[in-house]
Amino acid sequence: MTILIADDSDIVRKQITLLAKRACPGCAIHETTTVGATVRALQSIDPDVVVLDLSFPDGTGLSVLEWLNARNGTADRPESRQKQPVTYVFTNHPDEANRVRCAQLGAADFFDKSFDFERLFDVLQIAARSGSSPVHGHEGN
């Protein structure tokens, strides 16, 4: 399984990387720090799972989710569809509007950086065991 961690904070990104290595020994883990680098990584490594922040110096994680949806094509062009990574949003901006928008854009779950490191670990561990199937960290999402 391949995991992409997209976060501009060095400290948080390294913590998530350590968490992902514990949750998924043997997984390939890649890191990005900008929207542009994240989109390039999505194109080149085709990850199974993405842990995505919402705030970047060059844009937002919402634009990454929108890009993933655009890349996936439309119902009338099934040949243009590509495998979508399971995307978990991990943010310091856990307001309801962001949570709803991320769900609308296909995020599998939404985590608050202030409280949810252990929950993220659990979800990554389950995803690793199930081959990256979408795993929801709590009911209702």
Contacts for 109 with CB less than 8 Å, ≥ 6 apart: 88, 89, 123, 135, 136, 137, 138, 141
**Residue 140 pLDDT > 80:** no
Query: CB neighbours (10 Å) of residue 40?
Result: 12
pTM of the predicted model as reported, rounded to 2 decimal places: 0.88
Q: What residue spans define the domains of the chain?
A: 2-112+120-130
Q: Are the CB atoms for 81 and 90 separated by under 8 Å?
A: no
The pLDDT value recorded for residue 133 is 56
Q: Is 18 helix (H, G, I), strand (E, B) or coil?
A: helix
Give pLDDT tens digits for 27-40: 999 999 999 999 99
Q: Does CATH number 3.40.50.2300 belong to domain 2-112+120-130?
A: yes
The pLDDT value recorded for residue 130 is 85
Q: Is 30 helix (H, G, I), strand (E, B) or coil?
A: strand
Which two three-digit tokens encode residue 25? 């020994």
Q: Residue 76, exposed/middle/buried by CB under 10 A (0-12, 13-18, 19+)?
A: exposed
Give pLDDT tens digits for 55-85: 999 999 999 999 999 987 654 455 555 678 9
DSSP string, 105-133: TT-SEEEETTT-HHHHHHHHHHHHHHTS-
Which two three-digit tokens encode residue 26? 């043997």
